[in-house]
Structures are given as structure tokens and as C-alpha cells.
């Protein structure tokens, strides 16, 4: 059970890092004054506010993973 918790904590932390990298890439898109970017190749509109949500989820994932790791490593 201890190994399972450690694996889950590592997965959460790596997922959080991946989300932060993804948010960094999304944040560099050339948004217009209304906070939108239109991808002509895929015909998708990206909103700038989405980046903030992705960063929040990534940080929460890293924190939860670290807490699980810290509690499991102490036992």
C-alpha cells in the first residue's frame, strides 16, 4: 500500500509539472485585446483565462502529490 501511495504521489507531481509546461506554452500564444486566439489550422478559439485555470490545477496537483508523498514517506 505504501508503494501505491508513493506512485500516486509521483504521478500527481509529474502531471502537475506537465500541466504547468502546457500552460506556459498556451500563455505564449498571441492573444488579441479580448483575450482570444484563433487557430486557423484547427479552427479553434483559445481563451487566455484558460491558462489561469490550468496553472491552478497544476499547482494543486503538485501540492496534493507532495502532501501524499510527505505523509507516506514519514511512516
How far apart, in whole angstroms, are the C-alpha atoms of residue 34 and residue 22? 21
Between the alpha carbon of residue 43 and those of residues 38, 39, 46, 51, the distances in Å are 7, 5, 10, 19
- For residue 64, with 0-12 CB atoms within 10 Å meaning exposed, 13-18 middle and 19 or more buried, which class applies? middle
**Confidence (pLDDT) at 14:** 98
What is the tens place of the pLDDT at every residue in 1-35? 889 999 999 999 999 999 999 999 999 999 999 99
What is the tens place of the pLDDT at every residue in 20-75? 999 999 999 999 999 999 999 999 999 999 999 999 999 999 999 999 999 998 86
Q: What is the pTM of this model?
A: 0.87
Amino acid at each position: 500500500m505504501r508503494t501505491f501511495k508513493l506512485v500516486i504521489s509521483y504521478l500527481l507531481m509529474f502531471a502537475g509539472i506537465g500541466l504547468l509546461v502546457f500552460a506556459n506554452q498556451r500563455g505564449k500564444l498571441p492573444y488579441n485585446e479580448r483575450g482570444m486566439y484563433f487557430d486557423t489550422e484547427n479552427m479553434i478559439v483559445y481563451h487566455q483565462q484558460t491558462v489561469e485555470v490550468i496553472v491552478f490545477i497544476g499547482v494543486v496537483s503538485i501540492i496534493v502529490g507532495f502532501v501524499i508523498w510527505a505523509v507516506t514517506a514519514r511512516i
